[in-house]
Structure 1
Amino acid sequence: MAEILFPALFLLLALGLPVAFAMAISVFAAITLASNYPPLVVVKEMFAGLDSFPLLAVPFFILASEIMTGGAVTHAILRLAQAFVGHLRGGLGHANVISSAMFAGISGSALADAAGPGTMMIRMMEKGGYDRPYASALTIASAVVGPIIPPSITMIIYAMQDQNVSVGSLFMAGILPGLLITATVLVANANMSKRRNYASGEQRPGWMEIGRVALFALPALTLIVLIVGGIRFGVFTPTEASVIAVFYALFIGMFVYRSLRLRDLPGIILRAALTSGAVLLILGAARAFAWVLIIENVPQFLAETIISWDLAPVAFLLAVNLLLIIFGLFMDPLPGVMILVPILAPISFALGIDPNHFAIIVIVNLTLGLTTPPVGSLIFVVSSTVGLKPSTLIREMPPFFLALATALLLITFVPFLSTWLPTISGF
């Protein structure tokens, strides 16, 4: 079946079919043309991939993100980021990057970061004298932290594939790598702003003003502390945390910021349902795809081949980085996690690599695939919102590719970044 599965998948992706449909159709074709299994097994495996209690956290976190992204919450985060760095050279660009890091603690999604505060910051940067393609490329790079700083939908899916990690440990493991990525993109923006003379026209605010803006943004930023702290101290499970996040978002939206009205809820719920449906469809199709690979003994063959190479841990991590970068060119992070983690995670564990460290390497690698053609979802989301061709944005990306690659290498070869917080937190 594999001889039909992979060519069919790449052909459908090349034709521009969405990833979920490409995987499901290729599985159906492989089973119909090269096996004795009934086609109904595709539906059965897709349903089995979704029949999981921890997976309930995904639609609830998406709903919480939709509630929090509107109106005053987004403005509060942007104002706080501007208050801290808006007066520096390239200050609006810095504010873009920092607001993405703050918003990552609410959305858990790179695409939500880019489509929400990222789009608003592009308009603000353009008014401030920045080139629109540069502002858009910066938004693409800064949105990468969305699935890395907790809460993260990708981490929830990863924990379901690897029994050596938990959602709580991955949430803690992602904090320092997420901040490192933010720092490298800030350095890239500072360098480019100096070259292009993107000066700031804003005055440095006083401490009283900064304190007032920070106080206004505090209820929104408290969500990440509530989620990570609650999971760490055993107050609630990740699935329960997602439900609490929804009620907390409703509370601050309606009674603290007063920007959320009852008549807004049907539209918010509809958007969250559509996004959740798309995510869950990808997960179901990835489960069916992975099932065919298992039936064909592909994971076992790859695992035995890699083990036979007798690689040192460092060489193995370099090989994994290369494999995941190539894989990320053609596949989104969620199906990548479901297909590759069951193959690679046991090998890394046998080599003595910390499971949380390896998990962050995988998640960062696959998330970087969102910024690279030909499938890079972030490129197409941002290009559609700003009215520019994807090729125009790609030409602005090299400085940020270099920054992200530097962060990836540091995360790969400095395990402390991914292991320290889970260790001191007792995971």
Structure 2
Amino acid sequence: MICFLGFLALGVPLVFVLGAAAMITLLVTTDVPLTLISQRMFAGLNSFTLMAIPFFIFAGVIMDAGGISRRIVDFSSALIGWMTGSLLHVACVTSAGLAAVSGSGSADVAAVSSIMQPQLRRRRYDVDFSAAMIACAGAMAQVIPPSLTMVVIAVIGNMSIGALFLSGVVPGLLCIGLLLIVSYFFARKGGAQYKEAEPFSFVKLLRATYAALPAFGMPVLIVGGIIGGIFTPTEAAAMAGFYGMLVGLIIYRELKLSDLPQLVLRAASLSAAVMLIIGTATVFSWLVANANVPTMLASWLRSVSESPLMFLLFVNGLFLLIGMFMETIAAILIVAPVLLPIAASFGIDPIHFALVVVFNCALGTVTPPYGICLLVASTVANRSPIQVWKKSFPPILAMVVVLALITFFPEMSLWLPRSAGLLN
């Protein structure tokens, strides 16, 4: 742990921090050969379920290049573009729509920001608040299925990915709803530029809905296929990539066959970065477990309190802190294996616990200094992260309210997977 924190303080990239800390620990404290590192890395990646990650990443890349993102924006604009603060509402609803397609928060924020920021500036909206709102709404891609983060923690905890996906639907949509309310009250006080003169048009909504139907077919394919037992999560991810490619090539015709090699390379490079972190984090997690850290931590927590609620509050505080300094998947890979057995000992449902962790990680993507969604939104808006962060407290407060509801009321996240027969 000293090596881990020391390398982090020096600014070493996280993937090398994990690998170097594991290697030094093995050299100093054991006689185990260093070949164990490569063996553990391979064992950690040798999972059929983890193959869903590159497929989901490819689906997200295809979605952006094939015109799916723009159709979702057009649908959102036709649906709620007549309200006060319309562009803020469109950004929130679009983020929710893209979250149900891509599964990547930073990708959603980049797509929505690129499309919406020129219009926001043209209408003289508050750029910093708009960027903060887009970052918070985009972070819900961690919670609204399909989510790459959920796939990772489900693999670690040997949970049903379908059940975890469904557990995020209600909290994710509730958070988007609260963000819409925050946007509305901000716009009411913002001045004349937030007033929308264009009336609602049912004909425009029908046209936008018709154009967006192929785009909305992707989340139906993914979640419906998994819940219905038609696909495994990996097969559903592969089908999503294939479906997105067909939509872009044949239906929207904004994708060309000549574009595919470049898109495949982009998806491969993004996947390689994620997989390398997973591999080195597996070694680090094995060392932590081998040092009996989970048992010691569980004993300490039980000496402090026997309350499951107190344990969840501790988890919230821990992950909110970690999320400020660490990438989401790495944080889950390092900390979740330690806490999952402890949660089970407190009688906490693993799906409920996993959702609490995932939602905390979503919050971590909008909190500095590492908050990746905040950084992407501020970069596209051509503003500093601090400027955007100063305007982010109202939307972040909305996210904290939903996190509190999830923590105190487990059925809020469990009733949907239970109703689908995925939980007892």
TM over 0.5: yes
How do residues 6-405 of structure 1 correspond to structure 2 at under 5 angstroms?
6-163=1-158, 165-197=159-191, 198-405=193-400
In the aligned structure 2, how far is the partner of 1:117 from the partner of 1:71? 15
In the aligned structure 1, how far is the partner of 2:362 from the partner of 2:24? 29
Deviation at 1:202, TM superposition (A): 4.5
Deviation at 1:73, TM superposition (A): 1.0
Runs of 4+ in 1 over 6 A off after TM superposition: none
Greater CA drift, 34-43 or 99-108 = 34-43
In the aligned structure 2, how far is the partner of 1:8 from the partner of 1:187? 45
CA contact (8 A) 2:66 2:247 kept: no
Alignment partner of 1:84: what SS? helix
Aligned CA distance change for structure 1 residues 315 and 326 (closer, same or farther; 3 Å): same
Q: Give deviations 1:222-246, integer Å, cap 9, x for gaps.
A: 1111111111111111111011111
Deviation at 1:110, TM superposition (A): 0.6
In the aligned structure 1, how far is the partner of 2:101 from the partner of 2:280? 27
Deviation at 1:310, TM superposition (A): 4.1
Greater CA drift, 387-396 or 38-47 = 38-47
In the aligned structure 1, how far is the partner of 2:86 from the partner of 2:12? 39
Deviation at 1:91, TM superposition (A): 0.8
In the aligned structure 1, how far is the partner of 2:60 from the partner of 2:253? 17
**Taking every aligned residue pair, what percent have the same amino acid on both sides?**
37
In the aligned structure 1, how far is the partner of 2:91 from the partner of 2:83? 13
RMSD: 1.6
Aligned CA distance change for structure 1 residues 382 and 16 (closer, same or farther; 3 Å): farther
Q: Which residue among 409, 412, 419 is the counterpart of 1:414?
A: 409
CA contact (8 A) 1:324 1:365 kept: yes
CA contact (8 A) 1:325 1:366 kept: yes
In the aligned structure 2, how far is the partner of 1:289 from the partner of 1:200? 53
CA contact (8 A) 1:118 1:139 kept: yes
Aligned CA distance change for structure 1 residues 207 and 173 (closer, same or farther; 3 Å): same
Deviation at 1:377, TM superposition (A): 1.6
Deviation at 1:22, TM superposition (A): 2.1
CA contact (8 A) 1:62 1:276 kept: yes
In the aligned structure 2, how far is the partner of 1:196 from the partner of 1:45? 55
CA contact (8 A) 1:92 1:200 kept: no
* TM-score, with structure 1 as normaliser: 0.94
In the aligned structure 2, how far is the partner of 1:48 from the partner of 1:8? 24
In the aligned structure 2, how far is the partner of 1:247 from the partner of 1:22? 36
Deviation at 1:277, TM superposition (A): 0.7
CA contact (8 A) 1:83 1:204 kept: no
In the comparison of the two structures, how many residue pairs are matched? 421
Residue 421 of structure 2 corresponds to 426
In the aligned structure 2, how far is the partner of 1:149 from the partner of 1:290? 27
Aligned CA distance change for structure 1 residues 109 and 313 (closer, same or farther; 3 Å): same
Give the aligned residue type for 1:138: M
Greater CA drift, 211-220 or 185-194 = 185-194
Deviation at 1:156, TM superposition (A): 0.9
In the aligned structure 2, how far is the partner of 1:138 from the partner of 1:203? 23
Greater CA drift, 122-131 or 107-116 = 122-131
Q: Give deviations 1:79-106, integer Å, cap 9, x for gaps.
A: 1111111111111001001100000011
Q: Give deviations 1:345-396, integer Å, cap 9, x for gaps.
A: 2222332322222111110012211111122122222233333222222112
Structure 2 unpaired stretches of 5+:
none
Structure 1 unpaired stretches of 5+:
1-5
In the aligned structure 2, how far is the partner of 1:423 from the partner of 1:35? 46
CA contact (8 A) 1:303 1:343 kept: no
Residue 3 of structure 1 corresponds to none
Give the aligned residue type for 1:195: K
Alignment partner of 1:150: what SS? coil
Give the aligned residue type for 1:306: L
Deviation at 1:285, TM superposition (A): 1.6
Greater CA drift, 214-223 or 384-393 = 384-393
CA contact (8 A) 2:378 2:385 kept: yes
* TM-score, with structure 2 as normaliser: 0.95
Q: Give deviations 1:143-162, integer Å, cap 9, x for gaps.
A: 11112111111111111111
Deviation at 1:166, TM superposition (A): 0.5
CA contact (8 A) 1:161 1:338 kept: yes
Deviation at 1:71, TM superposition (A): 4.5
Alignment partner of 1:196: what SS? coil
Greater CA drift, 367-376 or 350-359 = 350-359
